[in-house]
Amino acid sequence: MTIDSKHTYLSLLCIVFLLLFSLEVGAWEYHSCGATTEHSAQMRFGAEFTKKWNNGLSLSLSEDLRIALAERVTGMTPKHETVDLSYGPDFSKSYTTLALAYAPLEYVKLDMGYTLRILGRKDFSDSDEYLRHRMHIGVTGVYNTHYVKFSLRERVLCDIRTDSVNLLEKQRFSWLLRSRLAAEFYVPGQPIKPYTWVELENTLNATEYQQNNGHQYISQVRTQAGVKWRVSRRSSFDFYYRFQYGYNRDINITKRKAHIELTEETSYEHAIGVTYNFDW
């Protein structure tokens, strides 16, 4: 083979490679996009039982039941189909959490736990459809003044799916970071403590196609205001209102057609709730 023929052969190889690469890149572009908006109102009922020890260690078991009072979803699918769905009172979610906490210092608290999540509007004949598992680990810093207790909590969560998923669309193990800034107010001579907090949730390992312009993104913003009312030495109630903004990038990939559909899902949720707490 002459030098010219070698150059020609290498040039052809380069051209073929570039063509294949361009086809591969083009195959995974977003071919269609949609957007939906959800507005909902909820009632939440909870109970938490906590055993505390003198060395700063505590163990808690809690249940959080969520009932959707009204919900409406509007928007457009990637196939340009109009979405306008309404739901009446319905079971939304149930979270059962077992958590262990330790306070080595008065201004530092460590915690870890497991949550069993039961999701509504799923196929209840298949546990992989409606069951989700969540692990968390976190640290909270506390600063006390005479009338206000400030706290900052950083918590890492891992949501675990047991159903069949396309790993290009979503992760089987989804990692999230939640950052919460809270303020609790002391009322001298009264058994109540008003409080408020705001929390941001960031994705940590969203898939390449879920990322927003190649970056992880804020998936939820929560804010809550309420009053803790102690009715006895061991029992108390927490009455609250919560507003939650959510943003999700739902990906659907059809491998055979090399077609990627992106739906940007935005949600606005209002919830009123009450939680009973028992400590011993």
Tell me the CB-side half-sphere exposure of residue 208, using CA atoms within 13 A.
Answer: 8
H-helix segments, 36-190: 127-130
The per-residue b/e assignment along 200-218, b for 16 or more CB within 10 angstroms, e otherwise, is ebebeebbebbeeeeebee
What pLDDT, in 10s, does the model give residues 78-94? 988 999 999 989 999 99
Across the range 217-235, mean pLDDT stands at: 97
Q: Identify which of 179, 181, 180 has the alpha carbon closest to the alpha carbon of residue 148.
A: 181
Separation of alpha carbons 36 and 71, rounded Å:
13
- pLDDT tens, position by position, 37-75: 999 999 999 999 999 999 999 999 999 999 999 999 999
C-alpha distance from residue 107 to each of 31, 137, 139, 151, 153 (Å): 51, 17, 11, 9, 12
CA quadruple 157, 197, 99, 187: dihedral, nearest 10: 170
CA distances from 252 to 21, 89, 170 (A): 22, 29, 9
244-247 long-range contacts, CB within 8 A, separation 24+? 244/220, 244/268, 244/269, 244/271, 245/220, 245/221, 245/269, 246/38, 246/219, 246/220, 247/217, 247/218, 247/219, 247/220
Q: Which two tokens stand for residue 87?
A: 């739901």
Q: Confidence band (pLDDT; 50, 70, 90) for 254?
A: confident
Instruction: Please give the model's pTM, rounded to 2 decimal places.
Output: 0.84
Asked whether the beta carbons of 156 and 176 are under 8 A apart, the reply is yes
- The pLDDT tens digits of the residues spanning 147-165 come to 999 999 999 999 998 888 8
Burial call 111-123: b when 16+ CB within 10 Å, e when fewer: bebebebbeeeee
Strand (E) positions, the chain? 30-52, 57-76, 82-87, 90-105, 108-119, 131-144, 148-160, 173-185, 192-203, 218-230, 235-254, 259-279
Per DSSP, helices labelled H in the chain are 3-27, 127-130
Greater confidence (15 vs 208) lies with 208
Two structure tokens written together for 201: 């949730």
* pLDDT of 122 above 50: yes
Average pLDDT estimate for 203-211 = 94
